[in-house]
Amino acid sequence: MVSVPWPLPRVVVAAPASGHGKTTIATGLLGALRRRGHTVSPHKVGPDYIDPGYHALAAGRPGRNLDPWLVGEERVAGLLRHGATVPSPADIAVIEGVMGLHDGAVGHRGHASTAHVARLVAAPVLLVLDTTAQGRSAAALALGMAAFDPAVRIGGVVLNRIGSPRHESLLRDALAEVDVPVLGAVTRTADVAAPSRHLGLVPVAERAAESVAVVDALADLVSATVDLDAVLALARSAPPLTVPAWDPAAAVGGPTGSDRPVIAVAGGPAFTFGYTETTELLTAAGGTVVPFDPLRDRALPSGTRAVVVGGGFPEVHVDALAANTGLRADLAAFDGPVVAECAGLLYLGRELDGVPMCGRLDLTARMTGRLTLGYREAVAAVDSVAHGAGDQVRGHEFHRTGTDPGHGDPPAWRWDGTAHGFVTGRIHASYLHTHWAGHPRAARRLVAAATR
């Protein structure tokens, strides 16, 4: 495919480590640029579902993930271009990094790190530094971040959590010594953040008006403390994107048939974890995607032929989910294909923390004190409505719950020599989060199963 180069201004917001204020600056930057009249495309490095919700609220368009592990590094630049094109062409893209600039998949030498993505999309980096208890060492840290990978261009820094005007002056002087521009300075008292809990920030969908207030405050903060003209100049220094935009229709090979089965996709405050590309792929494969909220909708959407229940926080909303007996009964009786990931797995079980759920899967689930987190290389154990036996998929686990039994017979996946998940009848359910842009055959297979 011949692609016309597109001069998309873009910048990656990164940090030396988690906790330096990336989300604060990236979200505020999205909101501040939008206020200026820019059409801003929001993106997040890594598998995280929560930050993109805040990005979407600030930018007014879907927040999208760029994760080389989940989708393959060859698709990252195309997915950036796609996200910056749909629903309308953006005039700047802001990409929030993950963890520290050079932190990626464990044991894979920085693969899927923020630095890796910055290289793949040829974007300059705006480095956020938490300057608490730091003086001239902040300049050494910035210099080390840049020197570690010369292919990653750090175009400037935002000094976060400055203690006083004297502290700021010291930091600016030190960074001038190493020719690193300071594009913003935020005091400790001005810091604004969204509330957190056991798996990170509280999702936007759970907070409604409070989320809007937080995002507005972040836009105010960045507008007052960051040189937006300098950030725009840095973003415009990125070279044109030469790769074609990722195309969901091309990825799935077009519709599976003339029928357009209704694919019900769970959403609402309890099920906030999902990638925009999933619904785009299901639509391109010939499905009619209809959202439903298990907290409020008393039945599946009319004409439902398949169901997708992704991740989220059912443990937070367990009593309200249990109280919706109409929908639980509808799902218990539904005999079409179902794909469930993590929260969906818990919701389909008999009970969660002793509270009744849908009962489609013969398992119980409980909160535990242990966090299970990390990238996985999985192989589909058997044929199912979403995968063929032997399909190799890269995914991600992120949960503090466990199930009894721990897996089905047959399981959904195998990795590291062990079995995971459940395949029973026309249900595929497991803890593994996947990004279907990396294996679009899953969308085509599900729509085909719904058509049958």
Q: List, by residue number, the catalytic residues.
A: 342
- What size, in residues, is the chain? 452
Surface-to-core class of residue 236, CB atoms within 10 Å of its CB (0-12 exposed, 13-18 middle, 19+ buried) = middle
CB atoms within 10 A of CB 193: 13
Q: H helices within 62-136, ranges in order?
A: 68-71, 73-83, 114-120
DSSP-derived pairing of the beta strands 413-415 and 392-404? unpaired
Give ∠ CA 404-409-411 in degrees, rounded to 5: 85
| Preceding amide of 356 cis, omega within 30 | no
CB atoms within 10 A of CB 273: 23
Q: Tokens representing 117? A: 């993505």
CA distances from 419 to 214, 294, 341, 408, 431 (A): 42, 29, 16, 8, 12
Please state, in angstroms and rounded to a whole number, the distance separating the CA atoms of residues 161 and 156: 17
Please state, in angstroms and rounded to a whole number, the distance separating the CA atoms of residues 24 and 423: 41
Which residues make Cβ contacts (< 8 Å) with residue 208, sequence separation at least 6? none
Place of tokens 């998949």: 105
Residues 272, 303 contacting (CB under 8 angstroms): no
Please state, in angstroms and rounded to a whole number, the distance separating the CA atoms of residues 294 and 153: 45
Please state, in angstroms and rounded to a whole number, the distance separating the CA atoms of residues 123 and 11: 5
DSSP 120: H
Strands, DSSP E only, in 77-130? 92-96, 125-130
Please state, in angstroms and rounded to a whole number, the distance separating the CA atoms of residues 6 and 93: 12
Amino acid symbol at 37 = G
As beta bridge partners, residue 393 has: 378
DSSP-derived pairing of the beta strands 418-420 and 413-415? antiparallel
Closest to 70 (Cα-Cα) out of 42, 98, 109, 112: 112
Angle between helices 209-225 and 50-59 (to 10 degrees): 70
Which residues make Cβ contacts (< 8 Å) with residue 322, sequence separation at least 6? 328, 355, 356, 357
